[in-house]
Chains A and B, each alone.
Chain A
Amino acid sequence: MDDSTSNMEHNPTEFELNSTVQRMVEKFGARVEEFRGDPTLEVRADQIVALCQTLRDIEGFEMLVDETAVDYWPAEAPRFHVIYLLRSVSRNQTLCLRVPLDGNEPVMPTMTGVYPNANWYERELWDMFGIHFAGHPDLRRILMPHDWVGHPLRKDYPLGYEEPQFTFNYEQIQARKLNPKD
């Protein structure tokens, strides 16, 4: 039992998290949304690394708990939202970040320089969504076989069976078919 256990007893007030959120809004022009009591900060892709750097070094968010994405296809710009979940163990707070991303050119700066465990998360996002992470040290597929074509968690990726193509829906399905070059 050392000092970190006593940190946990220190119950965070919502006020602390709100003031963190407020500072980030002022500094980075982030947009705040609140749903079910959890704040979500929406920022631009070119600011996310600087924002996380600040949150880690100044606001005490030591841990990247999760990094994932949502595909809002057929919306094009933004099509993807990349989601970061940060955790401050010492202050017992969780903060969610959202980055909208253009579907025609899904490129994000890598988070591996700030949180090294983003490595596998970003490989998974590349594998599943085809989001490219600029500056990533090892951007390979992680869950699918290395010669797989396509990115399965995209909404325009079929579930595994083919929908029967009739005359009335021929063009609709044809338009949805994957381009093997993806």
Chain B
Amino acid sequence: MEEMILPTSEAMLDGMTHLVSERALEGETLLLNMGPQHPSTHGVLRLLLELDGEKVITVIPDIGYLHTGVEKNMESKTYLKAEVMTDRLDYLNTMGNNLVYVLAIEKLAELDVPPRADGIRVIFTELQRIASHLVWLGTHALDLAAMSVFLYCFREREIILDIMEMCSGQRMMTTYFRPGGLWRDVPSGFEDAVREFIKIFPARIDEYEALLTRNPLFLERVQGLGVLTKENALRWAITGPMLRASGVGFDLRKAKPYSGYEQYDFDIPTQTAGDTYARYQVRMEEMRQSLRIVEQALNKLPYGPVRSNNRKYVPPPRSELGVSMEAVIHHFKLWTEGFNPPAGAVYSAVESPRGELGVYLVSDGGPKPYRIHWRVPSFDNLQILPMLAKGHLVADLVALIGTTDIVLGDVDR
């Protein structure tokens, strides 16, 4: 009979012995590997657990399985080509990634954006926020064994992805926002499609809430679980719904408005409990608020161009190429060499569905970013998982990963 070889604690803890308790080294507690291929880790997250029975003593997150070197790759691409990679970071918030990237370039180059482009950007990032929260809600409920919510959520998410496909040609990897505006204007069916969604969606949120909000099985699992205090949330730089569920009403859309968010009337939902249920409530209310913003933005959407007239950064329209030598030169320069923004360093940030998504962009005056750093919300939010999970059961750990709403493409970059 073949002998089964179990990994020793030394092999599992290669270089990490200082992170577990003494008891783990003596073999009194169990070291268990969770992931990287585990359905509830929402991607490829590996957690090394130290367990006493079913109680979690330590969690050691091991990330980097989805690291694709995006920051390094962007340094070798022109600004326009590098934008394609922004979609691949947080694949549930592609429009938001596009937005923060183009905002950084626009800030660096002092590029103007027409009001119509700003309006469409707001509509899309808010629709994207709803779509992202739907994935969170579906998978969070699925982790807690509420299967049907997942199916309903993905039904509505599909409508949003269809709208995105209608405008950008892609369901997820959109690259729709460009420095100085948009790739092109929205097609004629866009307004009807969004209005239809605004009409049906409030009732759908009620439907999810009917399944979960007062469901005793759900409440039993989430109430009082993983309490994050206001002080800890600030100390650990937690942003987004997790911060707001801990009683800090900070939202970049209100605090440092971009793309014309100051013209829309919306509330920042906050809760003070700081537990998993509070985070659920905040995100549910955020979907309703996003819908309010979409409706206002659609009503106010002005007519006009969707791209800046600054030909040093924005390619000329196709129709000009046949009649203007200047346009041909600009077209050629922009698609071969790219544009050269002035040297300097800027930080731009937007409120992604997960928190503060920022870009620190350093330019040396050349056509490629000298250095680009992505400040991603999931990275910080995942860092407190060991703190939240301490003393809870393994089954609750699954709920805690769900409530932090991490996207591993975002964490690993």
Asked if B344 is at the interface (CB within 8 A of a chain A CB), the reply is: yes
- The contact string, 1 if C-beta is below 8 Å from chain B, for chain A 139-153, is 011111110000011
Asked if B371 is at the interface (CB within 8 A of a chain A CB), the reply is: yes
Q: Number of B residues contacting the other chain (C-beta, 8 Å)?
A: 50
**Neighbour of B358 across the interface among A65, A120, A128, CB < 8 A:** A65
Chain B, residue nearest A119 (CB): B383
**Neighbour of B237 across the interface among A65, A70, A146, A153, CB < 8 A:** A65
Give Cα A116 to B386, complex, Å: 13
**Neighbour of A152 across the interface among B69, B76, B107, CB < 8 A:** B69
Chain A, residue nearest B109 (CB): A36
Asked if B347 contacts A38 (CB within 8 A), the reply is: yes
Q: A8-B255, A36-B346, A63-B237 are in contact. Are A138 and B18 (CB under 8 A)?
A: yes
- The contact string, 1 if C-beta is below 8 Å from chain A, for chain B 265-302, is 00010101000000000000000000000000000000
Asked if A117 contacts B237 (CB within 8 A), the reply is: yes
Asked if A70 contacts B64 (CB within 8 A), the reply is: no
Which residues on A sit within 8 Å (CB–CB) of B346? 35-36, 38
Asked if B375 is at the interface (CB within 8 A of a chain A CB), the reply is: yes
Asked if B270 contacts A2 (CB within 8 A), the reply is: yes
Asked if B249 is at the interface (CB within 8 A of a chain A CB), the reply is: yes
Chain B, residue nearest A120 (CB): B383
Asked if A143 contacts B412 (CB within 8 A), the reply is: yes
**Neighbour of A117 across the interface among B73, B110, B380, CB < 8 A:** B380
Q: A65-B375, A68-B373 are in contact. Are A143 and B63 (CB under 8 A)?
A: yes
Which residues on A sit within 8 Å (CB–CB) of B371? 70-71
Asked if B38 is at the interface (CB within 8 A of a chain A CB), the reply is: no
Q: Is the interface of B mostly helix, strand, loop or mixed?
A: mixed
Give Cα A83 to B373, complex, Å: 10
Give Cα A16 to B356, complex, Å: 23
Asked if A142 contacts B250 (CB within 8 A), the reply is: no
Asked if A110 is at the interface (CB within 8 A of a chain B CB), the reply is: no
**Neighbour of B373 across the interface among A62, A66, A140, A142, CB < 8 A:** A66
Asked if B362 contacts A70 (CB within 8 A), the reply is: yes
Asked if A144 contacts B67 (CB within 8 A), the reply is: yes
One of A20-28, A43-51, A89-97, A100-108 at the interface: A89-97
Chain A, residue nearest B248 (CB): A4
Chain B, residue nearest A9 (CB): B254
Give Cα A68 to B379, complex, Å: 13
B→A interface (CB under 8 Å)? 14-16, 18-19, 63-64, 67, 69, 71-73, 76, 107-108, 110, 230, 234-237, 247-251, 254-256, 268, 270, 272, 344-347, 349, 356, 358, 360, 362, 370-371, 373, 375, 379-380, 383, 412-413
Top-3 shortest CB links A-B: A5-B249, A143-B64, A66-B375
A→B interface (CB under 8 Å)? 1-2, 4-5, 7-8, 35-36, 38, 40, 62-66, 68, 70-71, 83, 85, 87, 89, 92, 94, 96, 115-117, 119-120, 128, 137-138, 140-146, 152-153, 157, 159-160
5 residue pairs bridging A and B, Cβ less than 8 Å apart: A4-B247, A65-B237, A65-B349, A85-B347, A160-B69
